[in-house]
Amino acid sequence: MRVLVADDHSLFRDGIVSLLEAAGFEVVGQVGDGQSAIESAQLLRPDLVLMDITMPEMNGLEALRQIRFVLPDTKVVMLTVSEDDSDLFEAIRLGASGYLLKSLNADEFLEMLEGLSHGEAVMTRETTARLMRGFADLADLQETAPDRLSPRELELLQLVAEGLSNKAIGQQLSVSVNTVKYHMKNILQKLGAQNRTEAVMMAIRSGLIKPESSE
C-alpha cells in the first residue's frame, strides 16, 4: 500500500514513516501542512493518506474534504490527538476511512491499517462507541428539536452560524441585544448545549440550520 503522511510535527512524522516502512508499507511522501497534503496527494496518488487534524496553512479536515473530492479512490485516515467528538463526526461526514488517536501503540496502529484492505473502518472500539452515541444523540435531536425551537430561535441560531455578533443579530432582527441574549439562553437550555458553538453544531448536524447563508 502506497502511503502519504501529513503531520506538522517532524519528529512524530519521521517515527510513523519508519514504523510504516518496517511493516512493509511504501511511504511515497511526507508533508507538514494541509495544503501540501492536497498537492502531494494529487501528484503522487497514494492509496492512503494518514493525516493530522491540526496543521498550519490548512487543517486536516479541510484537506480531507478536498482530497476526497479530487481523489475519491484514495483513502484518508485521520491520525490525531483530538478526542473532540465534533472533529470525529466531521471527519466521518467528510469521508474519512478511519479516525485513530496518536496514543495507540504500534501494534494496534498497524493492525488497524491492515483492516483497510478488507474494507474495515479504521477506528478503535472506543471511537466506534463514541460515534454511535453521537448518531443516537443526533436522532433524538432530529425528533425533538423542531418542536423545541421556535421559528424566531431558529432564525437567530442561523445568524449565529453565519458569524454575526449579538449586536449585529439584534440589528438584523430589529430587537435589543438583551433580547438576543435572552433567546440564546433559551436555545442553549432547550438543546442542552454548553455554548453557542455547540448549539450551532447540533443544529447543523440535525439539518435545522445551514452552515452558512444560502444567499
Taking the model in full, what pTM does it have? 0.63
Question: Domains of the chain: which residue ranges?
Answer: 2-123, 136-205
Per-residue pLDDT of the chain (215 residues; tens, 9 = 90+): 999 999 999 999 999 999 999 999 999 999 999 999 999 999 999 999 999 999 988 999 999 999 999 999 999 999 999 888 778 888 888 888 889 999 999 998 998 888 787 777 788 878 777 766 665 555 555 555 545 788 889 899 889 888 788 888 999 999 998 999 999 888 888 877 777 777 887 777 777 787 654 44
Fold of 136-205: Arc Repressor Mutant, subunit A (1.10.10)
* Residue labelled with grid coordinates 492509496: 47
User: Do 2-123 and 136-205 share a fold?
Assistant: no
Fold of 2-123: Rossmann fold (3.40.50)
Q: CB of 202 within 8 A of CB of 141?
A: yes
